[in-house]
Structure 1
Amino acid sequence: MTKVNHLNRLCVIHVDFDIWSGQTRLTAADLKLGVGGEIPPEKIALLGSKKICDPAKLKGFHRLKTETRRLLLKFGMPFMNGFAVPVEKVDEITGKLDDVGDQFNALKQDFIRGYNMAVDEWCQENPEYEGALRAGALPKETVEKRIAFEYQAFMIVADSDKGHAVKLNRKVESLGDDLISEVTQEANKFYTERLAGRDQCALTTRQTLRNIRDKVDGLSFLNSAFTPLVKLLDQTLRGYDQHAEGRNVVAPFFYQVVAAVLIMSDKGRIEQYANGALTVEGMAVGMVCAELVANTDQKPVHHVSAQPAASVGPEIGNTNAQAAEVQVDEDDIDAFFNNYAENHNAGGQKEEKTDAAPVVPEVAEEPLETPVENVMVNQTPVVETPPKDDANDLYF
């Protein structure tokens, strides 16, 4: 795969979240050692620090931090302690970051307004340590300075030194490799959780493919293999609306979804697809034929007929030959699957015939009483034994 580096198409966004921990330093006065002494429980003190308010009141800040990281990963990759994103996406990203800033500041104001009350509630919840907690409580103004959010966006410019430029280019090249690894991981997870062992998938699965598509499209300049991958995902996403049945995607288009995901799940297959050595049509046809063979092996059909053997129709086992006759238009994926659908329906009609009950020759019912005229009478004369004169006579 050819790696193409364009530093002028990358922007690095660095995000700073300053979130106060809600803790202060644990002092010697907070510990009671010796006879009758005790150490504060983990709820109050941990690793040299003591909590002076309920940590749950700070969860909103951490939630925003997690959501912001997820947002940046949707568009870019971790790079130089920040996130490398496409330049054309900077306005969209910074707009979302401004919204994050507004939410963060709203949470901050709510927390600062209720700070003193939060300390009081924590002391009431832990009355045995109230003295130590109030002694370590920070002023509201100090806490306010320890909670902040900001971000910076900057471009990357290579140093005039050739050696430095080579190192930077190598670093940027690694972004493409990292993105391929991320795509394969997402595709494998998607296949395992949504496609493996099934013959249909929910329409909601397209959102995962769309997220992969958008990210790869934005960073497609990092690697030439990404452009054909984006086109493949575009074709697959269009098919969701065209081939949906209710809330699901079913065969034959389902096999295109599986084929596209399997291509993305392996770095070698991505390279083969980019070079034209592998097609989604070929993979899909292979899966269809494999399923038909598996179904034939699992459910053999036997025909029973009173007619001569020469008149018996073809059995379901010939489905392989029918599948092989499907004409694939490699330039139009949708046309291929439409052709397959027609052949699949025709084949289904033939298979329905084999589900009928076996033909058994009619047998005439046996009459309740056998007619007299049908009884064969034995006409052979009976030979009688001559009488014996005495006990000594023998008959020969």
Structure 2
Amino acid sequence: MHTITTITDRLTLVMLDVAIWSGRKKLRAEDLKLGTEIPPEDLVSLGSKRVCDPEPLKAFHRIKQSAERTCLRVGTRFLGGFAVPHAHAEALADALALLKTEFDQTTGSFLADYDQALETWISSLPDWEEPIRRAIEPANVVGGRLRFGYQLVRIAPAEQPGTLEHEVQGLGDGIFAEVEQMARDLEGSFEGKDKLHRRALGTFGRIREKLACLSFIDGRIQPVVDTIDDWSRRLPKTGPIAGAIFNEGMGLALLLSDAERMARHGAGQLAYQQGQPPEEPEPEPEPEQLAIVNFDDLFDTAAPSRPAAPVSTPPVSHMESFFF
């Protein structure tokens, strides 16, 4: 239990509760005018049909993605939500409150224009007016399906925490996997180039911020932060980032874009700092020796020969030995 609470006592769990209306309804056979020969539902699924213009709904998805990115900037996915250090919880709550305000305002504008936008959508698809109108949802129903909520809770393991300890122990690997996704933004910053645009330093900075505030979760994280810091402090204040420091940055980007490599690097550096010998890689297995095959034996179709009886060699004189 001590292992669990050492970590959970320093974390706030942030739960996002965002619902977005799909703008779709189940597609029926009569919508397609298939006639009398209609396949059974357990054989064919007809999918869904749009009942409104999908373009205005993209704003809601954008806000949801912004909320997730905001949580991941200082936290990591955990128990269906995001584990965030206590020190960052208040600022995160303020950011989510702003996103909720934006979501609610977007909802109000969407519902106010809903009926008119629906008529415009129908007029653009005159051949499908009937099935669309048959599936129309009134504005008040649609409004009930648009929701942005968030909750911040403290984690306190129960006396019987189930598999919580396993979940906590896996947080470090999850953090490395999330950083790997963030580092994808660096792919185009080095390949085929001989100098680094300073705009790419923002991605390095966001990765460093995330790792630094979550470093207490897993001892392998801090050595990766130190590696970023060591490179960053040697960057030129002005001018191009080229030459040896550019190549070093490329190696750092490759490290950050591979979760397993980061984990191994962090573990190796941690062992070195603690005075432990680094783990030697397992030796590759020796190539198997090829057996020597007597092809005469393989292709001899005669009866198997019996072993010859031992031949006794009579002793020879000294002179006989000389001539032989």
Q: Does the TM-score normalized on the shorter chain lie above 0.5?
A: yes
Q: Which amino acid aligns with 1:8?
A: D
Q: RMSD across aligned C-alpha pairs, in angstroms? A: 3.1
Q: Is the 8 A contact 2:223 2:266 kept in 1?
A: no
Quote the residue 1:99 is aligned against: 98
Quote the residue 1:64 is aligned against: 63
Q: SS where residue 233 of structure 2 aligns?
A: helix
1:208 CA displacement: 1.4
Deviation by residue 1:161-217 (Cα, 9 ceiling, x = unmatched): 2xx36x212211101122234445655x57754345755322222111111111111
Q: SS where residue 68 of structure 1 aligns?
A: helix
Q: Which amino acid aligns with 2:226?
A: K
Cα gap change, 1:272/1:259 in structure 2, threshold over 3 Å: closer, same or farther? farther
Matches within 5 A, 1:308-387: none
Quote the residue 2:12 is aligned against: 11
Give 1:180's match in structure 2, choosing from 169, 176, 183. 176
Give 1:223's match in structure 2, choosing from 201, 208, 218. 218
**How much identity, in percent, do the aligned residues show?**
30
Q: SS where residue 101 of structure 2 aligns?
A: helix
Q: Which amino acid aligns with 2:65?
A: T
Quote the residue 1:21 is aligned against: 22
Cα gap change, 1:190/1:98 in structure 2, threshold over 3 Å: closer, same or farther? closer
Q: Is the 8 A contact 2:29 2:46 kept in 1?
A: no
Quote the residue 2:291 is aligned against: none
Q: Determine if the alignment matches structure 1 residue 144 to structure 2 residue 166.
A: no
Quote the residue 1:334 is aligned against: none
1:148 CA displacement: 1.2
Say which one has the larger Rg.
1
Q: Which amino acid aligns with 2:127?
A: E
Give 1:274's match in structure 2, choosing from 266, 270, 274. 270
Gaps of at least 5 residues in structure 2 are 39-44, 274-324
User: CA separation in 2, counterparts of 1:34 and 1:245?
Assistant: 72
The structure with higher relative contact order (CA 8 Å, sep 6+) is 2
User: CA separation in 2, counterparts of 1:181 and 1:48?
Assistant: 34
Quote the residue 1:288 is aligned against: none
Q: Determine if the alignment matches structure 1 residue 208 to structure 2 residue 203.
A: yes
Quote the residue 2:287 is aligned against: none
1:28 CA displacement: 5.9
Gaps of at least 5 residues in structure 1 are 39-45, 278-396
Cα gap change, 1:276/1:190 in structure 2, threshold over 3 Å: closer, same or farther? farther
Q: Is the 8 A contact 1:10 1:86 kept in 2?
A: yes
Q: SS where residue 156 of structure 2 aligns?
A: coil
Q: SS where residue 9 of structure 2 aligns?
A: helix
TM-score by length of 2: 0.70
Deviation by residue 1:94-116 (Cα, 9 ceiling, x = unmatched): 11111111111111111101111
Matches within 5 A, 1:120-135: 120-135=119-134
TM-score by length of 1: 0.58
Q: Is the 8 A contact 2:195 2:241 kept in 1?
A: yes
Q: SS where residue 276 of structure 1 aligns?
A: helix
